[in-house]
Amino acid sequence: MYKVIVIVGPTAVGKTKFSVELAKKLNTEIISADSCQVHKYMDIGTAKVTKNEMDGIKHHLLDIVNPDEDCSVSQFQELARKEIIRLNEENKIPIVIGGSGLFINSIMYDLNFGTVKSDDKIRKYFYDYHKENGTDALHDLLRELDPISADKIHKNNVKRVVRALEVCKLTGQKFSDFGTNIRTPSKEYDCFCIGLTTNRDLLYERINKRVDIMINDGLIKEVNTLLDMGYGPELTSMRAIGYKELVPFLDNDISLEEAIDTIKLNSRRFAKRQFTWFNADKNIHWLDTTESIKSGNIDLLIDKTLDLYYNI
């Protein structure tokens, strides 16, 4: 089995710095498992690691698709697998870091995405249906066929809704039936997973501060540039937090203050959802980052992680 260290946790908890310092200790490289950071030109709003923050540590699976292209979980799984095997063959333990639950699960658990092939005609039918009837109508179709999936998949995630409908149509089964064994341990990878958490008030304070920094660093210009490049708000990538909220401001529909407040609110809600997702996984070893955040010293966290890893 190929060895992998996985680092998860909510946004703004300190995963980037922690993973870089751990990679230095282990003389290894980092694989990003973030469904937003796969997109080119989307740097500030996705909190993509900068060259300075990398501090010489190689990062993989960043900037691999354009904003109007999607990177599915199965595509990520395939690309990540290549890097994991390569690093293991170099006697290095790869570090997978991210907050995208399904991307992480595609490494830690056996998810069989290839069991249901795509059908271009069926997929086109549902995309055409969406174009003619709207987002709500498309989601209502899914609710009729598979209420469980409809509850789990947001109506604005059109790609995922279409995929769920496609699977229902092709197999005669509910899309949700294919996810019942989502946490069957991987037979290919020997995964050790660390989850980072912290005091909720401190986390929310860090999230709010991060949004302010993003604005000061040029997030508005980044969103405007993407729109000028032809990447419209209808794209899945442009519905990411930090981007979708600024479009109404740029259209003069809301004030900048309203947009910023909404980004902060949605970011806090997202962090809560991330923690709920990962907290359900009993294979994660949780470490509290509160003291290291306050002191600015993460050496103790690194030592705890290495002790856990080598003694389990």
Last-in-domain residue among 179, 206, 228: 179
Mark whether 118 and 107 lie in a shared domain. Answer: no
For the chain, what is the domain count? 2
Mark whether 88 and 101 lie in a shared domain. Answer: yes
Residue 288: predicted pLDDT: 95
Chain centroid offset of residue 236 CA: 13
Task: Give the strand pairing for 189-197 and 30-32.
Answer: unpaired
Closest to 149 (Cα-Cα) out of 163, 170, 169: 163
Mark whether 70 and 97 lie in a shared domain. Answer: yes
The answer as to whether 254 is a domain residue is no
104: left (phi over 0), alpha (psi -120 to 50) or beta: alpha
The answer as to whether 227 is a domain residue is no
Q: 143: which 2 tokens?
A: 């609710």
Decide if pLDDT at 116 tops 80: no
Closest to 84 (Cα-Cα) out of 9, 153, 32, 13: 32
pLDDT band at residue 47 under the 50/70/90 scheme: very high
Residue 192: predicted pLDDT: 97
Mark whether 125 and 50 lie in a shared domain. Answer: no
Mark whether 104 and 118 lie in a shared domain. Answer: no
Decide if pLDDT at 142 tops 60: yes
The number of C-alpha atoms within 13 Å of 65 and in the hemisphere containing its C-beta is 17
State the DSSP string of 66-128: -TTS---HHHHHHHHHHHHHHHHHTT---EEE-S-HHHHHHHHB---GGGS---HHHHHHHHH
pLDDT average, residue stretch 246-270: 97
**CATH number of the CATH domain containing 34:** 3.40.50.300
Decide if pLDDT at 199 tops 70: yes
Residue 170: predicted pLDDT: 78
Residue 112: predicted pLDDT: 63
Last-in-domain residue among 179, 203, 227: 179
Mark whether 62 and 167 lie in a shared domain. Answer: no
Residue 120: predicted pLDDT: 84
Residue 121: predicted pLDDT: 84
pLDDT average, residue stretch 94-121: 83
**CATH number of the CATH domain containing 129:** 1.10.20.140
Residue 70: predicted pLDDT: 84
- Between CA 284 and CA 273 the distance in angstroms is 16
Q: What is the pTM of this model?
A: 0.82
pLDDT average, residue stretch 268-276: 92
Mark whether 98 and 32 lie in a shared domain. Answer: yes
pLDDT band at residue 113 under the 50/70/90 scheme: low
Decide if pLDDT at 182 tops 60: no
The answer as to whether 235 is a domain residue is no
What would the pLDDT profile of 68-84 be if each residue is shown by its tens digit?
998 888 889 999 999 99
Q: 12: which 2 tokens?
A: 């703004």
pLDDT average, residue stretch 48-64: 98
Mark whether 107 and 165 lie in a shared domain. Answer: no
Residue 311: predicted pLDDT: 87
Q: What is the mean pLDDT of the chain?
A: 92
Tell me the residue range of the domain where 288 lies: 2-111+183-216+274-311
The answer as to whether 242 is a domain residue is no
pLDDT average, residue stretch 120-125: 86
What would the pLDDT profile of 202-252 be if each residue is shown by its tens digit?
999 999 999 999 999 999 999 999 999 999 998 989 999 999 999 999 999
The answer as to whether 252 is a domain residue is no
Mark whether 306 and 203 lie in a shared domain. Answer: yes
The answer as to whether 26 is a domain residue is yes
Residue 85: predicted pLDDT: 98
Contact assessment for residue 67 and residue 238, using Cβ atoms and an 8 Å cutoff: yes
Mark whether 199 and 86 lie in a shared domain. Answer: yes
Last-in-domain residue among 124, 158, 179: 179
The answer as to whether 126 is a domain residue is yes
Three-class secondary structure of residue 21 per DSSP: helix
State percent of the chain over pLDDT 70.
Answer: 96
pLDDT average, residue stretch 158-170: 87
Mark whether 192 and 67 lie in a shared domain. Answer: yes
The answer as to whether 238 is a domain residue is no
Mark whether 27 and 57 lie in a shared domain. Answer: yes
